[in-house]
Amino acid sequence: MTDWLKEIDKAQDLEILESIRIGALGKKGEITQAFAALKEADEAQKPLIAKSLNELKNSFALAFSAKKESLEMVALSQALQAERIDVSRFAPRNEIGALHPVMHVMDEIIDFFMQRNFTIETGPMVEDDFHNFEALNLPKHHPARDMQDTFYFGDGRLLRTHTSPVQIRTMLGKKPPIRMIAPGSVFRRDFDITHTPMFHQVEGLIVDGKDKVSFAHLKHILEAFLTHMFGDVAVRFRPSFFPFTEPSAEVDISCHFCKGEGCRVCKHTGWLEVLGCGMVDGNVFEAVGYEDVSGYAFGLGVERFAMLLYGIGDLRSLFEGDVRLLEQLV
């Protein structure tokens, strides 16, 4: 008879252990066969043989279940080891993209004017002298050209310094009445904490029949617009100069950080300059061949709005693409 207890002891995994059980106690197993052979045994010997077979069967069962339990423990700990999860491991996150704060402000501005039936007009970023300057009442050698440091290509073309040329293109392509805004990128040779070589503007233009558009209309829409953007602020119009408007004004809002008391952002004046505007100059209408019309125009810098809305001190930080900053905005 095989030394079954020794076999069990040697078994290294559950599969081998099971084959040992079959070898001993299966239908044709050695112990099973020994029990079957009992019938042929000598009557006198039978009880003795039966007793030792039963003892063998019992000790087999005990050894088998103890071994099985210990092999199962080994298998379990091997599986746990193999599937171990290291919770301290670095896991890259899938970041969800979002609109850049400047584009968010741009959309807010566009929405305001779209809801009031302004059309959205666009024009090329590479412009010519006529559309960017000449037709806007900025003839060659006019000192006001110095207000805008221009990138020239050397062949007469230039990068538009403002979105005002879209006024000209729209008026040349359409008859009045006109009620438009022109959002877009503009370019100037400037780089400091409040200037970047590329930034965004939104231009506005309304043209209708003679005497139909007044400065009161301009004040009304801009006051509604600025309180929509900045909340409960006071709006003031200061006389100013732009070649393409007459009269011209610069528009200030009361500082929404200090409520007009004076702080770092408003340089202790209580006011923040936010845009330029005026009644369209007769020379501009002449340049596009419009007669007997009246109109107003305005222009604003989107980054300036974003800086004031989000309280950002250095404009350049909006262009550095640092997610840690951008995530805090919008």
Positions that interact with ligand DAH (CB under 6 A): 162, 164, 203, 242, 244-245, 276-278, 297-299
Question: Least Å distance between CB 321 and ligand DAH?
Answer: 25
Question: Least Å distance between CB 149 and ligand DAH?
Answer: 12
Evaluated on CA atoms 165, 168, 173, 177, the torsion sign reads positive
Quote the CA–CA distance of 50 and 48 in Å, as a whole number: 5
Question: Least Å distance between CB 92 and ligand DAH?
Answer: 43
| Closest residue by Cα to residue 231 from 213, 261, 209, 256 | 256
| Closest residue by Cα to residue 285 from 130, 136, 140 | 136
Question: Least Å distance between CB 200 and ligand DAH?
Answer: 11
| Closest residue by Cα to residue 301 from 171, 179, 164 | 164
Question: Least Å distance between CB 178 and ligand DAH?
Answer: 13
Choose between 67 and 304: whose C-beta lies nearer to ligand DAH: 304
**129: enclosing H helix or E strand:** helix 129-132
Choose between 64 and 296: whose C-beta lies nearer to ligand DAH: 296
Question: Which residue number is nearest to ligand DAH in terms of Cβ?
Answer: 299
Quote the CA–CA distance of 153 and 146 in Å, as a whole number: 17
Choose between 21 and 160: whose C-beta lies nearer to ligand DAH: 160
Question: Least Å distance between CB 164 and ligand DAH?
Answer: 4
Choose between 31 and 201: whose C-beta lies nearer to ligand DAH: 201
Choose between 20 and 278: whose C-beta lies nearer to ligand DAH: 278
DSSP state string for 245-308: EEEEEEEEEE-TTTTTS--TTTTTSSEEEEEEEEEEPHHHHHHTT--SEEEEEEEEEHHHHHHH
Choose between 130 and 257: whose C-beta lies nearer to ligand DAH: 130
Per-residue b/e over 118-146, b at no fewer than 16 CB within 10 Å?
A: beebebeeebbbebbbebbbbeeeeeebe
Question: Least Å distance between CB 162 and ligand DAH?
Answer: 3
Choose between 244 and 271: whose C-beta lies nearer to ligand DAH: 244
